[in-house]
């Protein structure tokens, strides 16, 4: 899909943007700027990437600035999905100086976090090319799931479940409570015949065969060795999609991809990807 | 401080815990458990650290479980501030099986993120010993600031500003708008005489002298070379606290500490520390 | 599934219950009871079905009463999923008289609405027996979707999409914008390979064949005559699920079911089913 | 009043409109349109009444569309209070195609529900002419009371109490706890002398006389036979308003009206009136 | 009414209590107690009235303490409606010392404000005895209206309108827009026949006669001299209630009451009554 | 500081403005204006100060009017910080007549309360001139703290702590639990070395010396006689700021100021300052 991915409805994250501003402004507001900068002073500057990365969250950052002061103007030079080099200016801002300074950290916290996820996803996606697809997990940070999963899409990945309610995913703990793979898949199928996909985690070829026999849509191959995974992929072909899971890193991903698996899920994209370093550099130089 | 740090008031993060549960349960709830697990089935299991680390967020995790079902019982074996080894059981849970499964991911997302921050902080703190203190920044994730800063305290660090309103911190961008260091510090002092501390970022010994002359409480030594920083620390001693800042890592921190600086601030503790891997392992084994 | 359906997490509807109480109590509270009933007077009574129906929402009603006053006690005689006769007592309540009176209308508004949906669903489900399944739509009342869809399950129906985001459903308007059925299905398939089901509305056998060729998971047979629908069902068998849609009533449902279709979706279950008449009858008789 | 009734302050229902959009968009948004419709595609179409009815809620529908995308433009052809024929176009819409499709169902859910109430009210109002007035009850759906009562006004009805706090209404259950009619009315009168009206439900002429003697402002004649009601109306004339209540339908309303009663309250207007069928028909035809 | 007035439903003010706690605890909590008091230290003490007054808001105060820590125990010695002397202990508290200290100011801010209103109301009420009644206005502080009006009732006053929607009150500005008194009253009467009371402000005997002729329920005698007011009261007797309004103080109220007016409304009860001075005195004495 | 003080971020108080409007409009809106004023009628008028005072809260008032109807236009004649005379027009308003009338009371409640605080502060500030500074306390009304403290700044005062978390303030109750002054100050200093100021309440010269020896930043001289306070100020000079506290009024403030103390804190500025009387006078005169 060359078309850029669709961002979540602003109405869904604007409350978080307001909350984050409130979290930073506290009860007394920006003491430093209030003391040092005249209320009507204007300023201009750039959002600059200190390191190279894929940009995600620029519209959220814009909303933080304009949420604090609707008169701030932002010219976006690197939109979501663009790859920026180290030192590149991502956007030019101008407006009330106090507003730019007061919104800076909140805007950058969103932009850095989401661009960090997009950058990490893009790096993995580049290592595997068109197949398999890199997918995320539900290991997201509280309150940020929809934005984080959007950043994964921006990075070239695809989304796994958004929550417990949009597909069945039968894992280890379920099998301990519900009996074997085949019984569990059949039971889920009879509970939700219509529109709901069923995925099951398997650790052996026996479990795989049970899952396929019961009609699972997707099988998650959990922590399998590459040769075992390749055999599992071979058996599942045409019967179910296959997903590799479990501690996969940039170092191991090529070997996993070579098994022919359809999907590789990577939890750390959303819970541990380092933030992309972006800063606000105001123009000019005060009298000294 | 051997006493464990004080956690934020539960009333301040319970709405986030509920939001995170809602984010995961969606509109239709936990399809998998609803299909596979009888409504009254009981289960028990342990929260297990897959890697060693310092625990933070156990009470939040407890609240997620009991928020979903008040009858879930949790015996905490490793409380906030404890160091757990890889494979160690952090808590024993028992209660309604569906509730344990439905709350699992949300609880672990909090616990893993906060323990990751505490673990990273502790590692830096160990490298420097009693002096200087490791402090955090405002580079936090939206909505999570108070919890993340608590996790820094749990890891043995101290907190810098919680927001723009609890101290003055004059940085590069302010100086561009407000003139030189001395003028800025004096102006801030006259604006807020009472109870508000003033910190200013300096990049040279000249700026440092201006800051000290103007009566800054703290000087931030930004990206100084260790010898320059040592000289700055020497000059500031007894006149202002000194804070080292700028891209400090585990590799460089000992050299920075050796300059005698009072505080070392590290942004990545809160925006990029990797999550600690914690899992829920239910007891037992279903029929197969 | 003989097991009763799973109710939504109380945390998801408790805010609505509180909002509804606030909507009724206003700023000044229950003037009538405050004037006439001593603050500590106790009362007891029954929730009585004035007409026969299937009960849904009893736990919501309980939460309304206990949300107003935690000391109210409720003994449920007819739980969600039970069929009550006209005049049957569904629950016995006792507690502070003012609390019972003040919560009465709010609790009944939930219970009557949800039981009305369950009753209407059950009546359709009885007309068709085990096959096809009766399913709901997204034609729900604002803020009430999860509860209304739960009531459909209580009535023996199944749930269609909970929102725009849990499956693809290609309808008339989409086809006007996106070209023909086959192209649309293929495009959706390539956009969301994993876990997302695809349904497409078809009005002719030609469109049906295109949908099947493109691999749709479900075809919606919109406003087809029964003979045409029967032919469509025959062609789709083993290749896709079939769903009948469009103005289906108790009068026409048997003929639709006889076509062999898998699912019948009925919008009025959630937007127009009449409320079940339930009342609170307090015991006793005041002095006269 | 030939002037159209006043709609509730938008600030009071905009949160519900946003909640309803969020309920439909979920975490992942409109999968179908995102896959099939280019992000910048434009579309136009009409909101069309499938059946005749009185329109209510058009401004709410407009707010749903513009709440999702402020650039959507809506030309209203049938405003609140207008009577539309089957097949009539109520409004013309144009704007971003994805936005129109994503907001469609939410907007229609409001418009259909409120127009259904207005239509049902208008039908009853036509049956009785200028006198008596049709009034609603507190049997409304949770969260929707103010909008539903507005729809009753649009249909030509008037509003009874908005909540427990804007008038005293002494009913059966109160009398069981508080003693007889006369004592209850007097006690309420002494508790709230100023601005608060007092209504009491009576089932016999004896109770009626007590209520009138005690100075009730309104007497509710509950489930009385028409001849008894006519006698009650005769006795109350000039002393109190009279309100007929209890299972009144289109079939029985003329006979009730003929008793001369001032008000007829009808609960099903708000809890059971069927939705008015309104649809969005986009213009044009995709390539096939 | 010797029975104590009914307090607003806790569900209506608990969010304000939580907000007020959050406002005081900020992001970092109670620094002082965290530094000085061991986490498990217990303490006990009393809420003491520094000056005499009528108590209102004790349950709100209790909820603030237990909202911060459910284990705090409170024995109420002076409940709402009681008159306390200077130095009197209103309640005994015991529990976690940090919780008592952290909740203290928030609890006292509610208790002092509401008791201040009750005390001021009681003082006016004592000056006039049983007749006329002291009533409040809509001149309340944002967010606090229901609690403030409750405090007026606790002080022995009665409540005027709770908002713009529970009665018609025609004032000067309305008359400028709507024509004369008689026309305005008649128009309001025809708009809202049922349950809605109508009050009109009059400044002369001519306006009074128009209001009475048009059937106003209450006439507000605005800034009339006592002799004119007495004449107005005489003319209105048996036809409408009379309300004195406009800058009435403790000094002038007896003269106003002597006119025979039914109600005296006093805005400053809610917007300017001074807070009652209440403090928390912890028991004991630390080592020194 | 001749520059006007910075107002809180509108995002922080707009929810309170909406809540206050909702509190006044209730469920049925402004009955009076709906009945008497045509929906499209225009009106104009002025906000007029009935008494002289310093204005604070004009932007909040503006937001209330435009929040109800964005087309209302307001020309501000007396901005925050201006001193208005009795009878002076503070702002000219024009727009939809119903909107002006419906927002009037809510806007005035904010404007009167905040201007009352600013006026009271200004009066005290005038009595003491440039030194000492008048400061507020945490004795604020629930939900209004940031606005009230802004009003204090508008009146020429300065702000003490905004909450429990922005400085340490050791008071009587802490000393009872934590031991003597010196120990408490030292313990607080070791807990929060960086950026956090420490103030301690002292009642005697002995406690003062302990506080100074322990390095307190500020000493609060509580209820000291003027001679004792003068001696305390003399001893503290150059070592700590001094703050006078405890029942200080306009009558006693000059004597307190003469002691040379740096700060005088006055609780009643925020909890008991009387509202400034401001009214809306619409232009024109209706037909009579």
Please indicate whether residue B288 or residue B129 has the higher confidence score (pLDDT). Answer: B129
For residue B222, indicate whether it is catalytic. Answer: yes
Closest CA to B154 of B110, B107, B131, B121: B121
User: Do the Cβ atoms of C145 and B27 come within 8 Å?
Assistant: yes
* Whether the predicted pLDDT of A175 surpasses 70: yes
Where residue D195 falls among pLDDT bands split at 50, 70, 90?
Answer: confident
Containing F222, the helix (H) or strand (E) segment is strand F218-222
Do the Cβ atoms of A256 and A226 come closer than 8 Å? yes
- pLDDT in the model for residue C287: 41
> CA of D146: how far to CAs of A51, C61, F33, in Å?
54, 21, 18
Written in H, E and C, the secondary structure of A108-145 is HHHHHHHHHHHHHHHHHHHHHCCCCEEECCCCCCCCCH
- pLDDT in the model for residue F288: 43
Q: Which C residues 66-125 touch E at CB under 8 Å?
A: 67-68, 98, 102
Q: Which of E92, E138, E171, E235 is catalytic?
A: E171
Q: Which residues contact A255 (CB under 8 A, 6 or more apart)?
A: A226
- pLDDT in the model for residue C285: 61
User: Which DSSP state fits F196?
Assistant: B
- pLDDT in the model for residue D90: 98
Containing E73, the helix (H) or strand (E) segment is strand E73-76
Mean pLDDT of D206-233: 96
Closest-CA distance of chain F to residue E127, Å: 22
3-state secondary structure of A271: helix
> CA of E52: how far to CAs of D47, D240, E55, E90, F269, in Å?
66, 47, 9, 11, 21
Residues of C with a catalytic annotation lie at: 105, 139, 171, 201, 222
pLDDT per residue of chain F (288 residues) written in tens, 0 to 9: 456 789 999 999 999 999 999 999 999 999 999 999 999 999 999 999 999 999 999 999 999 999 999 999 999 999 999 999 999 999 999 999 999 999 999 999 999 999 999 999 999 999 999 899 999 999 999 999 999 999 999 999 999 999 999 899 999 999 988 889 999 999 998 887 668 899 999 999 999 999 999 999 999 999 999 999 999 999 999 999 999 999 899 999 999 999 999 999 999 999 999 999 999 999 986 444
CA-CA distance, D252 to D225, in Å (whole number)? 11
Chains that touch E (3 or more CB pairs under 8 A): A, B, C, D, F
- pLDDT in the model for residue E130: 85
Closest-CA distance of chain D to residue F13, Å: 15
CA-CA distance, F107 to E145, in Å (whole number)? 14
Do the Cβ atoms of B69 and B30 come closer than 8 Å? no
For residue F183, indicate whether it is catalytic. Answer: no
| Residues D139-178 pLDDT 10s | 999 999 999 999 999 999 999 999 999 899 999 999 988 8
3-state secondary structure of B46: strand
Closest-CA distance of chain F to residue A51, Å: 31
Do the Cβ atoms of A241 and C193 come closer than 8 Å? yes
Q: Which residues of A touch E27 (CB under 8 A)?
A: 23, 26
Largest distance between two CA atoms of chain F: 78
Closest CA to B115 of B50, B49, B53: B53
Do the Cβ atoms of D263 and D244 come closer than 8 Å? yes
Q: What count of CB pairs under 8 Å joins B to F?
A: 56
CA-CA distance, A197 to A168, in Å (whole number)? 6
| Residues E197-231 pLDDT 10s | 999 999 999 999 999 999 999 999 999 999 999 99
Neighbours of E237 (CB within 10 A): 12
Q: For chain B, where are the alpha helices, taking DSSP H only?
A: 10-25, 31-36, 58-68, 97-128, 145-154, 172-178, 181-191, 205-214, 226-236, 253-257, 268-271
Mean pLDDT of C251-268: 96
Q: Which of E82, E88, E123, E222 is catalytic?
A: E222
CA-CA distance, B7 to B13, in Å (whole number)? 10
Q: Which residues of C touch A192 (CB under 8 A)?
A: 158
- Residue of F29, F43, F180 lying closest to E177 (CB–CB): F43
Mean pLDDT of A232-250: 95
Lowest mean pLDDT among A262-271, B18-27, E4-13: E4-13
User: Do the Cβ atoms of C142 and D109 come within 8 Å?
Assistant: yes
Q: Which residues contact B176 (CB under 8 A, 6 or more apart)?
A: A282, A283, A284, A285, A286
Q: Which residues of E touch C22 (CB under 8 A)?
A: 9, 11-12
Distance of CA F66 to the CA centre of its chain: 24
Do the Cβ atoms of B200 and B226 come closer than 8 Å? no
Retrieve residue D120's tokens: 């049902």
* Whether the predicted pLDDT of D192 surpasses 90: no
* Residue A230 exposed, middle or buried by CB count within 10 Å (0-12, 13-18, 19+): middle
Where residue B285 falls among pLDDT bands split at 50, 70, 90?
Answer: low
* Whether the predicted pLDDT of C160 surpasses 90: yes
What is chain E's length?
288
The answer to whether F146 faces chain A, any CB pair under 8 Å, is: yes
Q: Which residues contact A249 (CB under 8 A, 6 or more apart)?
A: none
CA-CA distance, A143 to E109, in Å (whole number)? 33
User: Do the Cβ atoms of D194 and E160 come within 8 Å?
Assistant: yes
CA-CA distance, D267 to D140, in Å (whole number)? 8
- pLDDT in the model for residue A152: 97
Q: Which A residues 217-256 touch C at CB under 8 Å?
A: 217-218, 241, 243
Retrieve residue A202's tokens: 């398997």
Mean pLDDT of C88-116: 98
- pLDDT in the model for residue A288: 43
Q: Which of B18, B139, B161, B187 is catalytic?
A: B139
Containing D201, the helix (H) or strand (E) segment is strand D198-202
- pLDDT in the model for residue C193: 64
Q: Which residues contact D281 (CB under 8 A, 6 or more apart)?
A: C173, D45, D46, D48
| Residues B148-159 pLDDT 10s | 999 999 999 999
- pLDDT in the model for residue B178: 84
Beta-sheet pairing, A241-245 with A263-265: parallel
- Residue of A4, A6, A163 lying closest to D29 (CB–CB): A6
* Whether the predicted pLDDT of C139 surpasses 80: yes
Containing E285, the helix (H) or strand (E) segment is none
- pLDDT in the model for residue D288: 43
Mean pLDDT of C219-224: 95
* Whether the predicted pLDDT of C276 surpasses 70: yes
Do the Cβ atoms of B52 and B100 come closer than 8 Å? no
Q: Which residues contact A164 (CB under 8 A, 6 or more apart)?
A: A138, B24, B25, B26, B29, B30, B31, B32, B33, B102, B105
* Whether the predicted pLDDT of E1 surpasses 50: no
Highest mean pLDDT among A36-40, A106-110, F126-130: A106-110
User: Do the Cβ atoms of A22 and F4 come within 8 Å?
Assistant: no
CA-CA distance, F154 to F121, in Å (whole number)? 8
CA-CA distance, F266 to F247, in Å (whole number)? 7
* Residue C79 exposed, middle or buried by CB count within 10 Å (0-12, 13-18, 19+): middle
- pLDDT in the model for residue C30: 96
For residue F82, indicate whether it is catalytic. Answer: no
Lowest mean pLDDT among B129-133, C77-81, F272-276: B129-133
- Residue of F28, F67, F68 lying closest to D159 (CB–CB): F28
Mutation for testing the A interface, residue in B19, B27, B35, B111 having most A CBs under 10 Å: B35
Please indicate whether residue E66 or residue C194 has the higher confidence score (pLDDT). Answer: E66
Which residues are registered as beta bridge partners of D91?
A: D47, D76
Chains that touch F (3 or more CB pairs under 8 A): A, B, C, D, E
CA-CA distance, F147 to F158, in Å (whole number)? 13
Average pLDDT value for chain B: 94
User: Which DSSP state fits A195?
Assistant: S
> CA of C269: how far to CAs of C136, C226, C274, in Å?
7, 22, 9
* Residue C87 exposed, middle or buried by CB count within 10 Å (0-12, 13-18, 19+): exposed
Neighbours of C10 (CB within 10 A): 13
For residue B105, indicate whether it is catalytic. Answer: yes
- ipTM over the 0.90 cut-off: yes
User: Do the Cβ atoms of B26 and D23 come within 8 Å?
Assistant: no
Neighbours of A163 (CB within 10 A): 26
User: Which DSSP state fits C144?
Assistant: -
Retrieve residue E100's tokens: 């008592």
Do the Cβ atoms of C245 and C202 come closer than 8 Å? no
3-state secondary structure of E17: helix
Average pLDDT value for chain A: 94
Closest CA to C81 of C192, C177, C4: C4
The answer to whether F36 faces chain E, any CB pair under 8 Å, is: yes
Mean pLDDT of B83-106: 98
Q: Which residues of B touch E18 (CB under 8 A)?
A: 11
Closest-CA distance of chain E to residue C67, Å: 8
- pLDDT in the model for residue D2: 52
The answer to whether E196 faces chain D, any CB pair under 8 Å, is: yes
| Residues D6-26 pLDDT 10s | 999 999 999 999 999 999 999
User: Do the Cβ atoms of A3 and D38 come within 8 Å?
Assistant: yes
- pLDDT in the model for residue F2: 53
Q: Which residues of F touch B241 (CB under 8 A)?
A: 193-194
Mean pLDDT of B198-205: 96
User: Do the Cβ atoms of F28 and D166 come within 8 Å?
Assistant: yes
CA-CA distance, A181 to E71, in Å (whole number)? 47
User: Do the Cβ atoms of D68 and A8 come within 8 Å?
Assistant: no
Closest CA to E253 of E136, E118, E126, E114: E126
Beta-sheet pairing, D42-49 with D89-96: antiparallel
- pLDDT in the model for residue F285: 61
Residue labelled with tokens 């179409």: D45
Mean pLDDT of E112-135: 96
Closest CA to D58 of D89, D36, D79, D37: D79
CA-CA distance, F31 to B117, in Å (whole number)? 56
3-state secondary structure of A213: helix
């Amino acid at each position: 899909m060359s078309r850029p991915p669709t961002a979540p409805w602003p109405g869904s994250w604007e409350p978080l943007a307001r909350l984050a501003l409130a979290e930073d402004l506290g009860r007394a507001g920006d003491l430093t700027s209030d003391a040092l900068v005249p209320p009507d002073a204007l300023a201009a500057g750039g959002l600059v990437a200190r390191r190279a990365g894929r940009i995600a969250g620029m519209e959220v950052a814009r909303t933080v600035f304009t949420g604090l002061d609707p008169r701030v103007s932002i010219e976006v030079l690197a939109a979501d999905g663009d790859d920026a080099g180290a030192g590149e200016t991502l956007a030019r801002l101008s407006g009330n100086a106090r507003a730019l300074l007061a919104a800076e950290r909140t805007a950058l916290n969103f932009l850095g976090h989401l661009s960090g996820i997009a950058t990490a996803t893009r790096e993995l996606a580049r290592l595997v090319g068109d197949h398999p697809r890199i997918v995320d997990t539900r290991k997201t940070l509280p309150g940020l799931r929809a934005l984080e999963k959007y950043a994964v899409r921006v990075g070239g990945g695809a989304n796994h479940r958004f929550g417990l309610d949009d597909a069945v995913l039968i894992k280890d703990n379920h099998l301990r409570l519900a009996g074997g793979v085949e019984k569990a898949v059949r039971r889920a199928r009879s509970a939700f015949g219509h529109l709901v996909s069923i995925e099951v985690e398997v650790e052996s070829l026996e479990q795989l065969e049970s899952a396929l026999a019961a009609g699972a849509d997707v099988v998650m191959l959990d922590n399998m060795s590459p040769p075992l995974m390749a055999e599992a992929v071979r058996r599942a072909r045409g019967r179910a999609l296959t997903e590799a899971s479990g501690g996969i890193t940039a170092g191991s991903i090529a070997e996993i991809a070579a098994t022919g698996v359809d999907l590789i899920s990577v939890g750390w994209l959303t819970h541990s990807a380092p933030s992309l370093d972006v800063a606000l550099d105001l123009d000019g130089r005060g009298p000294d």
